[in-house]
Amino acid sequence: MEAVVAQATAQAAGSLVVPAVDSSKGIFSYLKRKYGYVRNMGKNFADLQREEKYLCDEEEDVKTRLDRNRLKMEKTRRCETWLNEVVKMKEEIKDLNAEYRNVRKFLCGLCPFPSLVKLGKRIVEKTAEVVSLKNQIGQITVMVEKAPAPVVKKYAKKIEEVPSLNKHVEMLQECLRNAALKRICIWGPPGVGKTTIMENLHDTVGDSHHFDIIFWVTLNTNGNVRDIQEVLVERLDLKAEEHSNDQRADMISEELKNKSYVLFLDGVSSEINLREVGIHEEHKHGKVVFACRYRNICGQTDEDINVRRLSNEDAQKLFWEIVGLHVKDNQDIKPVAKLIVKECGGMPYMIKLIGNSLENEENPAIWRDTLSQLRSPSMEPKQELEEVYNSFKLVCDKLDSYKLACLLYWAIFPSGYELHQDYIIECWRAEQFFPLLRKLGEARDRGHYILNEFVGKSLLEKGRKAAHYKMFEHFQRVALRIANQDENSCRILVKEGEKIREEEWEIANRISLIGLSLSTLPKRPKCCRILTLLLQESSLDEFPRSFFGYMCSLQLLDLHDTKIRLLPSSISSLINLKVLFLNNCNQLMQLPAEVGDLRSLEILDIRHTGIHSLPIEIGRLTDLKCLRVSFVENVVSHNHVGGPRDIIASNTIAKLVSLEELTVDVNPNNGRWNQTASSIAIEVASLEDLSTLCFYFPDVDCFQNFINTSKSWNGNNTLWGGNNFRAFSIVVGYHQRSSPLTEFDVSGCSAEKQLRFSAGEGFPDAILKVLEQAYAFELIGHRTATNLSDFGADKLGGLEACMVEECNEMTSIVDGNHTGGVAFQRLKKLHINNLPKLVHIWKGSIQSESFILLTTLTLKGCHSVKTLFSEEMVLLFNQLQYLQVEDCNEIEEIIKDGSVVESRAFPKLKDLQLCYLPKLSNIYHVSLEWPSLEMAIIKTCEELKNFPSTFQNATRLSVIRCSQAWWNRLIWPDDMVRDRFKDYHQLI
């Protein structure tokens, strides 16, 4: 440092660094140097200012580096000292600057020379010090990695014992690891465990240290942008007290743009504009996880996960964990406990509430009273459950009146009852909840919209069976409480085991006796107000003759699945009846003539009864909009005179001028139907308003004539594909299968438009016209087709499900050389069965848009196939989830040997089944990642010995079902793989 200063001083003074020759020369040099300090002062001060700027620039660069990395790095103590020295240096220069400004006016000789010399020397020395300080930063370690930002732990309740909740946490962890998923939503009704899942995920992610910083925000009902910003500003240690929301958003965004972070938002009740918070899509490493009650409330998200109720097993575990296992064996408590857990409906919140109230309780009377309170919400239930009531009512209060009526109608059904979407919509229609919708099809569309909204708001959930819905059990109790709390409103009477008193008939508007053991009914109950009567699935076998005498207001009567043998003549009193369900009443052999008096009837379902002929009185029901009937058995019925009776009397269908929906289910071997189908089809073709048809046409000529003459099919309705048909299930021809009927699952199709063409030849024009509008297609026993391309690629483009079975000439499903364009771009399910000449699924060139949505593929009984997938096909099947290959004698490999495919091929495949494949020796020649595979079933594939090597990277594989003999012959790449797979092995 001193040497640098000396050198700089000498240069500034203009001295020559040479040895002194004599004293006179030394004095001369000394005086010259002193004079140089004064003479060069202006230049030297400019040098000081320049070096100061360089120092300040270096300081700003250091601060910027520190600022950009301050969540991951922290400055060293030496860096802190250097920055302090810079501040001190700038102050000293500031003082020197002031002194220099004061003496500039004296440079003409008015200031004493010694003072000027001192100032000039200090400027030179200070310049050297600035240069030295600036250069020091190059030898200093500016910052070091610091400990991760502290995670504010939620200390969530551990859920390892609740697999259904823990599975959601694991799924969400996978989502956070996926770089493409930035907005993730978990949704479900209150109390289902969303917060518990979020808290477990929060703590797990915090422990992993994969993110720079993690935020948690719990929003109340009035939560807004400012509330979220407050949490983010505090965690980021930003000084933003006086700033507006927009300024805060800019500060937050700037702070997070290069950070990896997760923002957890719990309790979201309305859409949030994240850009207004400061969270932008441009943040490459930022993710947001929402927890909310309604689906889509968070706007556009990358992944939606519906948190459903606990399984019965998980609910039982959680309940007894809270109550205490020592209570479980009490014989008086055990049956009551089972019913209490059922009432809690798999909701962790409810289970905890009730479980805590019964903790260590061994008095059976307390348990029975708790069950009584759960079942009787109208009797002021447990105070703790008022939160559930208020939560439900809050949503109810915001619904339109007709939607509220639809929702509260659910209260008429037993707790936990699952309803098919068509059935509940028909109930709503009967009660005239959509009075302005004249067409039945319009009411169905509105009903689908309402059901979807109710599911989105977590008021309903989808049932176990396709197209079925159910309401959370306690919500049903609450709905009953709300529906019955107004004395002037419709009263609902629901019985679940108790007998109904005769006086109760008089006060009720809706009565539900579903599934009861009914030995007797009142002879003629005085119930003029009753609108709905549900008796389905009961033991009822007969009615008193005058039972319906006072029921002139009845609009819906459901008797399906009862044992009734005939309807009483008093049914003619039901002058306002709109819906009558008699399906599955297999003891009912005929309808009384009085059925013709039901002039208001709109929906009649008599499928799967003992009725073998449609009575002529049906023709009097001119307001009938939906008729569903089946004639399955091949029998001959006789009329009262003794002669044979037509299956449907002539001109009966033609008289039903309001008919919109017709279902005629018949056995293809029914000779009576095959003789009269053509004439019935002509009557059906005359119906102008027909929009739904389920019908069996015995031959192509009959079907072609219908398509040519049908007023409805040839109508013009742009909403439903160019004609009046919104749905159809059409069967043309009959093929006697050589193997058992394969179930054709069309659930998930976006519309109910299904065509089956059996035992045909060529490509009839009528088939092509319907195929163009179909979403599901079955081709059974076709005698000439070599591939589906013969039907035309444009006809296949809309299909979402397809089955090809026992077509003996078919060599490929699609011939890419003859498609003329993309085929199967919307196909989700493809089933291929018993095609003896099939060699390829796809032959020739393949378009990149084909098969891109396929989720399910089954191949059975195709003995000419040797390789299932080409390289091009593998690249397209990114959505495939289920693959089954069975009974294919010649198949040797799944993916063609020599193909070069990505390691993450089949990224969504979850279920793989390979059965009865004697020559199969290879899945693929190298190991793939199989990122989603969970289960594999391998049965009678003796040559497939390299299975472990092919699937050793399948980290989610948890079940391998196979025989012990096959397992013993496997070739293991190493002991580690063997040890991992042994826990997944399950014997078939």
Q: Domain containing 458: what range?
A: 400-489
Collect all residues with Cβ–Cβ distance below 8 Å to 731 and sequence separation of at least 6: 668, 695, 696, 697, 756, 758
Q: Which of 143-147, 572-576, 612-616 has the highest mean pLDDT?
A: 572-576
Tell me, yes or no, whether 387 lies in a domain: no
Question: Does residue 629 have a pLDDT over 90?
Answer: yes
Structure confidence at residue 871 as a pLDDT band (50, 70, 90): confident
- Look at residue 731 and tell me whether its pLDDT is greater than 90: yes
Question: How high is the pLDDT of residue 812?
Answer: 92
Least confident of 87-101, 293-307, 639-653: 639-653
Query: Per residue in 759-777, pLDDT tens?
Result: 999 999 999 999 999 999 9
Clarify whether residues 891 and 946 are in a common domain.
yes
**What is the C-alpha to C-alpha distance for residues 177 and 303, in angstroms, rounded to an integer?**
13
- Co-location of 562 and 632 in the same domain: no
- Same domain, yes or no: 168 and 302: yes
Most confident range (mean pLDDT) of 33-37, 146-150, 451-455, 601-605 is: 601-605
Can you give the CATH number for the domain in which 419 is found? 1.10.10
Residues 260 and 175 in one domain: yes
Q: How would residue 606 be classed by pLDDT, with cut points 50, 70 and 90?
A: very high
Spatial contact of 500 and 513, defined as CB atoms under 8 Å apart: yes
Mean pLDDT of 369-378: 73
Instruction: Identify whether the C-beta of residue 513 lies closer than 8 Å to the C-beta of residue 534.
Output: yes
Q: What percent of the chain has pLDDT over 70?
A: 88
**Structure tokens belonging to residue 207:** 């422990």
Q: What is the mean pLDDT of residues 343-351?
A: 80
923, with CB counted inside 10 A (0-12, 13-18, 19+), is: buried
The pLDDT of residue 593 is 92
The predicted structure's pLDDT at residue 807: 95
206 pLDDT exceeds 80?
yes
Contact residues for 191 (Cβ-Cβ < 8 A; gap 6+): 347, 348, 349, 350, 388
**CA gap 811, 841 in Å, rounded:** 8
Q: Tell me what the mean pLDDT of segment 268-292 comes to.
A: 88
Query: Residue 687 burial by CB count (10 A; 0-12/13-18/19+): exposed, middle or buried?
Result: buried
Query: Do both 299 and 317 map to the same domain?
Result: no
- Burial class of residue 553, CB neighbours in 10 A (0-12, 13-18, 19+): middle
> How many angstroms separate the CA atoms of 477 and 471, rounded?
10
Whether residue 212 is contained in a domain is answered as: yes
Query: Pick the residue with more confidence: 663 or 345?
Result: 663
The rounded distance, in Å, linking the Cα atoms of 131 and 108 is 30
Residues 329 and 219 in one domain: no
**CATH number for the domain including 567?**
3.80.10.10
Residue at 382 is within a domain: no
Are 135 and 26 part of one and the same domain? yes
Across 234-251, average pLDDT: 85
Which is higher by pLDDT, 681 or 41?
681
Residues 64 and 43 in one domain: yes
- Residue 414 counted as domain residue: yes
* DSSP codes joined into one string, 830-864: EEEE--TT--EEEES---TTTTTT--EEEEES-TT
Q: Which two tokens stand for residue 634?
A: 């091949």
More confidently predicted of 823 and 841: 841
Count of domains for the chain: 8
Q: What is the pLDDT of residue 402?
A: 92
Residue 890 pLDDT greater than 70, yes or no:
yes
- Average pLDDT (874-892) is 92
Q: Higher model confidence: residue 599 or residue 872?
A: 599
- 607 inside domain: no
CA dist list (Å): 210 to 71, 72, 205, 281: 13, 12, 7, 19
Nearest Cα residue to 160 out of 323, 292, 321, 304: 321
Same domain, 890 and 817: no
Which pLDDT score is estimated for 635?
45
Q: Are 802 and 810 in contact (CB under 8 A)?
A: no
Residue 321 lies in a domain: yes
What is the rounded CA–CA span in Å between residue 624 and residue 613? 18
Q: Give the Cα-Cα-Cα angle 390, 483, 602 (nearest 5 degrees).
A: 135
* Tokens standing for residue 809: 């000439």
**Across 429-509, where does the E strand assignment appear?**
461-462, 468-470, 492-494
Q: How confident is the model at residue 147 (pLDDT cuts 50, 70, 90)?
A: low
* Any domain includes 708: yes
CATH at residue 167: 3.40.50.300
Residue 806 has pLDDT above 80, yes or no: yes
More confident residue, 781 or 953: 781
With respect to residue 151, please indicate whether it lies within any of the assigned structural domains: no
Question: What average pLDDT does the segment 542-546 reach?
Answer: 92
Closest C-alpha among 375, 368, 365 to residue 342 = 375
Q: How many of the other CB atoms lie within 10 Å of CB of 616? A: 18
Tens of pLDDT, residues 150-178: 666 666 667 766 777 888 888 898 888 88
> Looking at the structure, do residues 694 and 786 belong to the same domain, yes or no?
no
Residue 36 pLDDT: 73
Average pLDDT over residues 407-428: 92
- Interior CA angle at 308 toward 306 and 309, to 5°? 170
The reply to whether 666 and 782 lie within a common domain is: no
Mean pLDDT of the chain: 84
pLDDT surpasses 90 at 111: no
Nearest to 51 by CA among 40, 59, 61: 59
Is 100 found in the same domain as 86?
Answer: yes
Averaged over 18-31, what is the pLDDT?
Answer: 49
